Amino acid sequence: MAKKSDKILYDYNIYRIQFEKHDDFIGFLEERKFEEIPLKQDLLKPDSSVSFTLMYCDKDNKDGSQWVKILSSCAEQKLEQDVRVYGAALVCKGVDFCYVISYGNAHFYAGKYCDYNFGVSVAERLIDLESIKAQQNVSHGSKLSKTHFDYIKNAPITYGSGEIPTFIKGESIDPEYWGANITCGISTQFKWEESPLQIGEKLSALDTVCKTKSDISLPRLLPLDEEIYVDKIAELYLKLAEAIRDYDPAKIADYFSVPSFYLLGTKIMQTDFSKYKLSCNHKVQEFDGELSIFSVKQFLDVNGYDIISHIQKINIAVEYSTGQFSALKPITEYMEFICTDKMSNSFCLRNGKWCSFNNAYVERIISSVARIKYVNHIDDDLCFNKTALMDFAKETGIFVDREHQPIEGYFNHRLEEILSATSQHPTTQKFEEGYNFRYEPCDLFTTDTLYFVKIGEPSDFAMAIDQAGVTLQKLRTSNNVIELINNTLVTPLEFVLILVFDKRSSIITQWKDINSLNFLIHLSDLQKDLNLSGITLKVDFCYGAIQI
């Protein structure tokens, strides 16, 4: 604990919680058998604007911990090592801020109330980002499991266009005041000379620094630990259930609270004619067509289930080409959802995992997709008119007299003529021999271009992007050559997404106009992967509700 200078340094693991939640947090700890321990008043600075509350919990841990001795020196009663020590929280309340110093297992409980962007805020302002000692990055794309940890020596912080720094350890910009090194994640860790009841001035200075504008904004996306943040995750599942219950596709969506599905990580690619089963509490129902929020709500209504209490009990299985169904998995593993909590923290559900993120993350995504070329089609051959499309289907003999019309199939046939392309839709093929997984490589193709078509809203468009992503995976394993229908070999130089807004009544003028962060995340990830393969990306927007 002592350094070469013989100065005693105290370890502080600091969380920031909302000022108004101070009393709620104390009550939350009391419900979990924490008790308030009186503090030595002579150790408190009389002119300090910060008050301290020591919440202590004793459970089985007879080995004791070093921090028990430190806190024992501050308390009126001795915290013996043979007491069943388990955790403590020193709650520090200022004029308009509140911080929690966590010891033992108290970080499990701070997670319900903490500001998830606090660590990044400190890193942006107090760490010399040219002198990083360790960092962890995670991919923000559809494959969230891309994580790597680097131990480095006094190097600049680094992260690619598809990566987010989630853990940063580096040198302080002011070692004399803030300590030599600072570690930032959700919490921030310092080593200070001041003992626990002497840090009021330091916390006030820390709060002042965090409220100043930073010259740099680090994007942040951090998976939530399921044990530490169990209460927060339960709160987020409730928000997801409420969003499904209240979902109305006719309403104008925003970046948040729009549930959608993605399929790349599950090795399933849907077509207009796929089948799947939903199950809950031993009740099973089979569906034709694409997985949708509507079908989930229909299944729950038919069986009399309340989405609020059953959100984590719904499972899904998808039919393979052999006619067999995949194993049942929680439907939340296939869902994407973005929301905010009462403290304005932002969260997303991806690959079955809840993550927190900040505004810089959103700005980085938008900046990334800003380089992608797009074209609006409202008065040319690619414009979308459902009535004209039905007439086209009848004239060409491809019309199917049934309630669920394969509009996307009709549109693909129409595009085949317009683009002088060959239609691949809805033909699927094996991704790899020996596996049941089949995929649709594209909807249409020419000698050097693959087209991917989707009709719906932005929350649906991610499926077309995932389809393109699976095809790109296949290309990487076959020297950028893919075999399509009629044994045609194609080496694509361009991927084109033809995306039809079914209900949108205004054209896209900038990427921010697409109110779906999930869509932009998928698009950014696809662009990055295509760039690595030397393939360009173009997006064509069509509009079903805009007629000239």
Looking at the whole model, is its pTM more than 0.75?
A: no
DSSP category for residue 104: E
d(CA 154, CA 55): 38
Whether 191 has a pLDDT exceeding 90, the answer reads: yes
Q: Can you say whether the dihedral through the CA atoms of 271, 544, 468, 483 is positive or negative?
A: positive
Closest CA to 516 of 450, 443, 463: 463
Q: Could you write out the DSSP letters of every residue in 189-255? A: EEEESS-GGG-HHHHHHHHHHHHSPPS-----EEEPPTTTTHHHHHHHHHHHHHHHHH--TTSPP-S
Report whether 255 contacts 263 (CB < 8 A): no
In sequence order, the β-bridge partners of residue 148 are 137
What's the pLDDT score for residue 264?
36
Whether 147 has a pLDDT exceeding 60, the answer reads: no
What's the pLDDT score for residue 111?
81
Report whether 494 contacts 501 (CB < 8 A): no
Report pLDDT digits (tens) over 75-133. Answer: 888 776 554 546 899 999 999 999 999 998 888 888 888 888 899 899 999 998 887 77
d(CA 370, CA 510): 8
Report pLDDT digits (tens) over 52-67. Answer: 999 998 765 445 566 7
Report whether 254 contacts 515 (CB < 8 A): yes
Residue spans of the domains in the chain: they are 10-223, 230-356, 363-543
Whether 378 has a pLDDT exceeding 80, the answer reads: yes
| 450 token code pair | 């693959």
What's the pLDDT score for residue 520?
85
What's the pLDDT score for residue 84?
57
46 confidence band (pLDDT: 50, 70, 90): confident
Report whether 114 contacts 100 (CB < 8 A): yes
| 213 token code pair | 């504008």
Burial of 254 (0-12, 13-18, 19+ CB in 10 A): exposed
Report pLDDT digits (tens) over 223-249. Answer: 788 888 888 999 999 998 998 888 776
d(CA 367, CA 520): 10
d(CA 201, CA 194): 10
Report pLDDT digits (tens) over 274-317. Answer: 678 899 999 999 987 667 788 888 899 999 999 999 999 999 88
DSSP category for residue 21: G
What's the pLDDT score for residue 221?
75
Least confident of 297-301, 313-317, 322-326, 426-430: 322-326
3-state secondary structure of 427: coil
Secondary structure element (H or E) that encloses residue 24, with its range: helix 22-31
- The number of residues in the chain equals 548
Report whether 260 contacts 335 (CB < 8 A): yes
Instruction: Report CA-CA distances (Å) from 466 to 167, 262, 336.
Output: 29, 7, 13
DSSP category for residue 424: -
Closest CA to 528 of 117, 254, 146: 146
With tokens 């499904």, the residue in question is 244
Report whether 187 contacts 114 (CB < 8 A): yes
Instruction: Report CA-CA distances (Å) from 490 to 230, 440, 484.
Output: 49, 15, 7
Per-residue H/E/C for 288-356: ECCCCHHHHHHHHHHCCCCHHHHCCCCEEEEECCCCCECCCEEHHHHEEEEEECCCCCEEEEECCEEEE
> What does the angle CA 181 – CA 182 – CA 187 come to, to the nearest 5 degrees?
160
181 confidence band (pLDDT: 50, 70, 90): very high
Report pLDDT digits (tens) over 458-473. Answer: 877 877 888 898 899 8
149 confidence band (pLDDT: 50, 70, 90): very low
3-state secondary structure of 513: helix
16-34 mean pLDDT = 92
Least confident of 188-192, 195-199, 339-343: 339-343
199 confidence band (pLDDT: 50, 70, 90): very high
Closest CA to 177 of 195, 156, 198, 193: 193
3-state secondary structure of 471: helix
Closest CA to 179 of 124, 138, 128: 128
188 confidence band (pLDDT: 50, 70, 90): very high
Report pLDDT digits (tens) over 241-273. Answer: 998 888 776 665 544 444 555 443 333 344 444
